[in-house]
Every structure is written in structure tokens, then in C-alpha cells.
Amino acid sequence: MTENILVSVAWPYANADIHVGNITGAYLPADVFARYHRLKGNRVLMVSGTDAHGTPITVRADAEGLSAEEVYKRYHRRFLDLFVKYGLTYDLFTTTHTENHFKVSQDIFLALKENGFLYTQTEKQWYAPGKGRFLPDRYVEGECYLCHYPNARGDQCDNCGSLLDSTQLINPRAKGGGDLELRETEHFYLDLGKLAPALADYLNAGKDHWRPNVINRSRQDVTELRGRAITRDLDWGIPVPVDGWRETGKCLYVWFEAVIGYFSASIEWSRNNGQPDAWKDWWYNPNAKTYYFIGKDNIPFHAVIWPAQLIGARRLYESDASKTLNLPYDVPANEFLNLEGQKISGSRNWAVWGLDAAERYDADALRYYLIANMPEARDADWSWSEFVARNNNELVATWGNLANRMLSFAHKNFEGEVPDPGNLRPEDRELLAAVEAGFDSVGELLGAVKLRAALGEALRVASEVNRYLDVRAPWSEIKTDRVAAAKTVFTALNAIDSLKTLFAPFLPFSSERLHQYLGHGGSLFGAQKIVAYDESSGSHEALTYDRSGAVGKWQPSKLKPRQVLHPPAPLFKKLEEAVAEEEVARLHGAG
């Protein structure tokens, strides 16, 4: 039965480049999962985009003398390039700065308002009369009222680390000068307390497949929910769709509108593809499964607050009153990746940047290490020496070498063709059965989002083929019994052809090449394309996935005798030990 699978992926924030921790935390597991389901023949929709709004972006824009729009576009473009290099196959990677997203976010807001889940409240905030606008907390500095550090930021003290209430700062001053005064301002709040009972019902039923850290934390959070402000005094964002509000420079708070991106991007994808209602197959079909791939810092927003927004909005663009928007089926959040034992820090440049690493290493080598070492249950550590060791000992030695040794052997001894085996021996059938079982065992682990275990299982299957070859020893058979050697080589090539598929979700580039080496036509997956989409107020670039022409199937090989093989080449590169030292030195030199 074909399933509808929505793969929702965390939205990178447009004020910093992406590092390996971000990739392994959310983007890569989502891609592996999406590719697996596509091979299974399921209908996959993988969406995300750049989170373009909010104060940190205006801060950076001010610092660089650019507009907020220029800043977001620069990072957005770099995200697109990185995703192409790592083969992350978003059906649509868009941005929150589109007319479509504005409209959908405002409509969700209005639905929540209409359904009685919003209320307003007045609070005091810093206002700059000279500039005629309210200042975000981090634009106000002063003495910390807790530790008396003289240069604390309004939102947080850099000295004692405490989160601050900016109105309590001692001797407050505006960053960059100018007058400052406290003024009353009114904001909308999401009434999470009112939504708590429905949320508790949702989180207490049928969540056995959720990771313990995700479900336990979320159940705890629901017990202490309070209203939360969803608007801000800010000009870079989505205007509040209420008369008298949009005129006074009030916007939807980024945390509120960014998560709506999963929904708006699904709608945009449908429109871009000329099937404006297609998104409903993922959002209203109760049998569709929706997954949210995020880092652990985002758990409350995806397992509690986003479901609250969906429950409160109930339905949108749907007249059938019996239907409600689908809530997350699973939120397989990953923990964090450290680097050489220390926390990754972009500002201290203690990071392995995605685009930089892709300059020097193949995407599949990076993908392999990031999946084998994925922080699924606890924080993990990126170590360059481990990267080199696992690349050489596991990826190259067990899998790359298996493919290369057998293709080379077939090329030299069977005129570059798949030999005709005649009748297979029991031991040949046994091996093929063991490989075939891998489609169930690897597939089951992938379906349960246990990606490192799934990759380990695929590698174990590859080891079985290595063992089979050692027992059969076709290099000996060929000297005395060419027919026996033909059976062995046929069987091994068949197994390798199947392994190509088992590894494909993890290592798509090398599997694609192996597919060609084995003499098949077509490609396993579709193609990534960067496309510009026009709206009446402007255009935005997006990453898309064209699935037409993809021939990959999650099925054992049906390799034909006499199929012509292409001249083989090693799938992966062995790395020098010195690479690890060079990279660590680079890390320290740069920091």
C-alpha cells in the first residue's frame, strides 16, 4: 500500500552558515528517510526553507550596512548550494519571505483568533523616540541587575549568562545611541493554557514510537503551559493582519510564523506543480504520516507549540468540517554534535562548515560519517581522526572495496559482462537470500528512523558478501572450473547490485555511479534543480526535486546474464592519516 509521507525539515535561520552539526541534526536524516520512502514507492513530500525574519537578521544587516532582505538572500543562496552538494533532495526548499507564506501565516493567525485561542495583553517595552520605533531587547544595553556587569544586553547577560528582563536593566541605553523610554505596547498571545488539555490528549496517545527524550520532555512541558506572545514591534516580518495593527509596525513573532512554513511550503509546492490541492493528501488524509526532523533545541516548538497551533486553527482552505489538520506523527529530534570534544561554536569558528568540508571531501564520505555517528540518542562527537578511520576501515574497506574487487574481476575474466551462471548452487542461493533479507531488516530500521543502526545493518550485509567471496574464492575457481567461477561472480554481482539499493538512501552518489558501472540505464533518483519562482511582488529562488526518470526500487537485484558492465573505478577514496592532523591544525589556526 502506498503511504503519504511528509518529511518536514528544520528551517535554517538566515544569519549563519550551516555546519556539520546542523546537517547531521536534521537535514541529512530527513534526506535519508525521504530517499528510502521514495524507493519504497511511497508518496514523499519533503519541505523546508530559509527562516528569513526576526531580530537577529536585522541586527546583522545593521552591522553590515545591508538591508535585512539582502542578508537573508545571501544566506539562502548558500543554503541552496550546500544542499545540492550534499544531495539533500527537498521537494521544495523555499523561504518564509514569500507572499504565499505571508498569506498562509496570516490565515492561521486569523483562524486561531476566530476560534478563540488568541488574546491581547499590554506590556512595557523600550521605545526610541528619535527613531520612532520600539527596540528589540538586544538593542538595549545596561548594567545587569543580577551580576552588575556593566555591558549586559537586554535579552541576556554575556557575563553571568542569565536571561534578562530588559526593563529591569540598570542605566539602560540604546545600542548605537539615542534616547530611550519605556512605552506601553499591546500584543497578541497564543492561549496555550486553553489548548493544553487537547495537547495532553495528543501527547498521551499512541506515542510509543517517539524517542524517549522527545516525548517525556514534551509531556512535562504541557503541564506548565502559559500564554505566549506571538507578535512583536518589528518591521522585518509578516504584518499582523488586524486593522490598526499592521499600520503600527507590528509583526508576527518568528517562532510563530516559521513553523507554519511546513504547511505553507506544502501549499507552494502544490501550486508550483500545477496541482493546487495536492498538499491535502499530506495535511488532511488521516493516514498520512508527518515527520519533523529537527535538533533537540527545537523540541518544544515542534512537539508542543506547533501541534497547539494546528489544533487551534483546526482547518484551513478546507470546507469539509469533519476534517482537521494532521498533527505530527513523529518528531525524531537529534541531539547535538560536538567537535573534537568541544561544543560547536560558529562565533568562535569552532566548526566544520558544510560548504568548506565539501570542497575537500566527497559528499558520500561526509554523509557516511555523519550517519554512522549521528546523535540519535545522545550527543555525539565529530573527530577528524575518527572520520578518516571510519572512511578507510568501513566505507572503503568493506563496501567500496567489495564493489571494486568484483567488478574488476568480472571485467578481467568475463569480458566485461555479467557471466551466465546456469543453475545456481545452494550456497549461491543462500547468499542471495541473506541479501534479500536485508531489504526487510534495513528497511525496518529506516522506517523507524534508526538510521545509524540501518546503515550498520547494510554494512553487515556487505560483510556477508565479502565472506562468501572468500569461501568461494573465484580467483581459484577460475583456474580449474570456469563454470563455478561464473556462478560465483554472477551471484556476487547480483548481491552488489542489491547492496547498491540498500546503501542508496545513505550514499546516493556512489550508488548512482555503481548503478551505471553495473550497466543499468536510468538513474536511481530524480534530479535537484534550483528554480526561481515569481510572485506579484517579486521572485525567490528555491531548491526542487524532479522525480521523473527515477528508476530506483527498494527491491533485490534482477541482474541479467550478459549485461555489459562499464569499466569500474573505486567508489570511495582512501584518506591519508595526515588528513586528520591537517584538519585539526586548520581548526586551531582558524580559531
Partner RNA sequence: GGCGACGUAGCUCAGCGGUAGAGCAGGGGACUCAUAAGCCCUUGGCCACAAGUUCAAAUCUUGUCGUCGCCA
Report the interface residues with RNA, using CB under 7 A: 162-163, 212-213, 216-217, 220, 224, 296-297, 300, 335-336, 343, 373, 375-381, 386, 389, 392-394, 396-398, 400-402, 404-406, 408-409, 412, 452-453, 463, 466-467, 469-471, 473, 475-476, 570-574
With respect to RNA, which residue has the nearer C-beta, 227 or 300?
Answer: 300
DSSP string, 215-266: HHHHHHHHTT---EE-EEE-SSSPBPSSTTTGGGTEEE-HHHHHTTHHHHHH
Among 272, 276, 300, CA closest to 90: 272
With respect to RNA, which residue has the nearer C-beta, 137 or 335?
Answer: 335
Sheet architecture: strand order including 140-143? 152-153, 140-143, 170-174
396: CB partners within 8 A, 6+ apart: 570, 572, 573, 574
CB of 410 to RNA, least distance (A): 9
With respect to RNA, which residue has the nearer C-beta, 1 or 578?
Answer: 578
With respect to RNA, which residue has the nearer C-beta, 316 or 397?
Answer: 397
3-state secondary structure 142-200: EECCCCCCCCEECCECCCCCCECCHHHCEEEEECCCCCCEEEEEEEEEECHHHHHHHHH
With respect to RNA, which residue has the nearer C-beta, 16 or 397?
Answer: 397
Rounded distance between C-alpha atoms, residue 520 and residue 564, angstroms? 9
CB of 574 to RNA, least distance (A): 3
CB of 468 to RNA, least distance (A): 9
DSSP string, 266-311: HHHHHHHTT-TTTTHHHHT-TT-EEEEE-BGGGHHIIIIIHHHHHH
Among 314, 347, 327, CA closest to 218: 327
With respect to RNA, which residue has the nearer C-beta, 45 or 337?
Answer: 337
Q: Which helix (H) or strand (E) holds 380?
A: strand 380-382
Task: Give the cell for residue 59.
Answer: 541586527
With respect to RNA, which residue has the nearer C-beta, 241 or 300?
Answer: 300
Among 417, 501, 411, 516, CA closest to 462: 501
CB of 143 to RNA, least distance (A): 20
Handedness of CA 120, 124, 129, 135 (dihedral sign): negative
With respect to RNA, which residue has the nearer C-beta, 355 or 579?
Answer: 579
Rounded distance between C-alpha atoms, residue 318 and residue 316, angstroms? 5
CB of 11 to RNA, least distance (A): 18
With respect to RNA, which residue has the nearer C-beta, 85 or 573?
Answer: 573
Q: Is 179 exposed, middle or buried (0-12, 13-18, 19+ CB in 10 A)?
A: exposed
With respect to RNA, which residue has the nearer C-beta, 109 or 301?
Answer: 301
CB of 397 to RNA, least distance (A): 3
Task: Give the cell for residue 448.
Answer: 523507524
Assess contact for 14 and 50: CB atoms under 8 A: yes
Q: Roughly how many angstroms between the first and final C-alpha of the chain, as a whole number?
A: 52
Going along 36-175, which residue ranges are E strands? 43-50, 92-95, 118-128, 133-134, 140-143, 152-153, 170-174
CB of 293 to RNA, least distance (A): 17
CB of 475 to RNA, least distance (A): 4
* Identity of residue 181: E
Distances, alpha carbon 367 to alpha carbons 363, 391, 486, 526, in Å? 6, 10, 35, 19
Using DSSP bridges, classify how beta strands 380-382 and 133-134 pair: parallel, antiparallel or unpaired. unpaired
Main-chain phi, psi angles of 257, to 5 degrees: -85, -25
For 486-523, letters b (16+ CB in 10 Å) and e give: bbbbbbbbbbbbbbbbbbbbbbbbbbbbbbebbbbeeb
With respect to RNA, which residue has the nearer C-beta, 128 or 495?
Answer: 495
With respect to RNA, which residue has the nearer C-beta, 27 or 368?
Answer: 368
CB of 520 to RNA, least distance (A): 19
With respect to RNA, which residue has the nearer C-beta, 100 or 373?
Answer: 373
Handedness of CA 521, 524, 529, 534 (dihedral sign): positive
Among 552, 111, 561, CA closest to 316: 111
95 in helix, strand or coil? Answer: strand
CB of 190 to RNA, least distance (A): 15
CB of 230 to RNA, least distance (A): 16
CB of 373 to RNA, least distance (A): 6
Q: How many CA atoms lie within 13 A of 173 on its CB side?
A: 10
CB of 522 to RNA, least distance (A): 23
With respect to RNA, which residue has the nearer C-beta, 163 or 321?
Answer: 163
* Identity of residue 586: R
CB of 106 to RNA, least distance (A): 27
With respect to RNA, which residue has the nearer C-beta, 276 or 475?
Answer: 475
Q: How many CA atoms lie within 13 A of 6 on its CB side?
A: 32
CB of 467 to RNA, least distance (A): 4
